[in-house]
Amino acid sequence: MHFKEDLFIIRHARSEANIGKTDDLNSGLSDWGKVQAKTVGRFLATELDLTQHSWYVSPFLRCLQTAYDIWEAHRAIREHYLSIQVMPQLREYLNHSGPDGVHVDRKKEPHGMFNWSYFPEKGEHYHPEFNEHFLHRMHEAYSLLPNKSVVITHGLPAITLARIATDNIRDVPMWDYSLDNASVTWIRRGRTIWWGKNMYHEIESWPKDHVYLKMLQSEIKPKA
């Protein structure tokens, strides 16, 4: 197997669906998600030189917005007029989305930072898929990535891509909550340098009306 020289995999920042504000399969970022993405952009700009890396992103809105906020906070990327390639293979895994799936259109943005050449003009409609189809497209995505790449994708695709990059897996891994929203995984020549690194304390940063926090509070609330 050919290992990538340098691969960064970023899970999208917290979306409105993540906090229960919507059931839209193509939801955008929450207010805190935008803060997360900008924090990632500033961290990467401070700690690493990624101007020689190629950048790729899922066509789903939450990933595009994460990429935009990272780009906006990362001065070196802006100065190099970096283009971020939209790659359909990095899309969400929709095995529990219901029979209708979701239609994803090209998104208009003012700076021309996204390259949509891999994506159809009329958009694409994504239906639920079998595990083997999902695994095949993640292997395809990995094969298309250059040796130095940054990827912005979703939870299970991020875990799967990381496992392919280190172990060349042939089964879909279990979702294990190890990659938080806006976390960064860094793999160099098949070896994991960071797994799910984040720049904030997740639980303390939850807003008071966060759906998961409410669930946690209801579980620990003393019974009368």
Whether 170 shows a pLDDT value over 50: the answer reads yes
Angle ∠(43,162,175) on CA atoms, nearest 5: 100
pLDDT at position 220 is 47
Whether 224 shows a pLDDT value over 50: the answer reads no
pLDDT at position 199 is 78
pLDDT at position 215 is 55
Angle ∠(131,155,90) on CA atoms, nearest 5: 65
Q: How would residue 203 be classed by pLDDT, with cut points 50, 70 and 90?
A: very low
State the pTM of this model. Answer: 0.87
Note whether 80 and 111 are within 8 A (CB). no
Mean pLDDT, residues 66-92 taken together:
85
Q: How would residue 217 be classed by pLDDT, with cut points 50, 70 and 90?
A: low
Q: How would residue 206 be classed by pLDDT, with cut points 50, 70 and 90?
A: low
pLDDT at position 222 is 44
Average pLDDT over the chain reads 86
Secondary structure in 3-state letters for 67-116: HHHHHHHCHHHHHCCCCEEECHHHCCCCCCCCCCCEEECCCCCCCCCEEC
Structure token pair of residue 66: 């994460």
Helix (H, G, I), strand (E, B) or coil at 46: helix
Structure token pair of residue 95: 């095995």
Residues 6 or more apart whose CB falls under 8 angstroms from that of 26 comprise 60, 61, 62, 102, 104
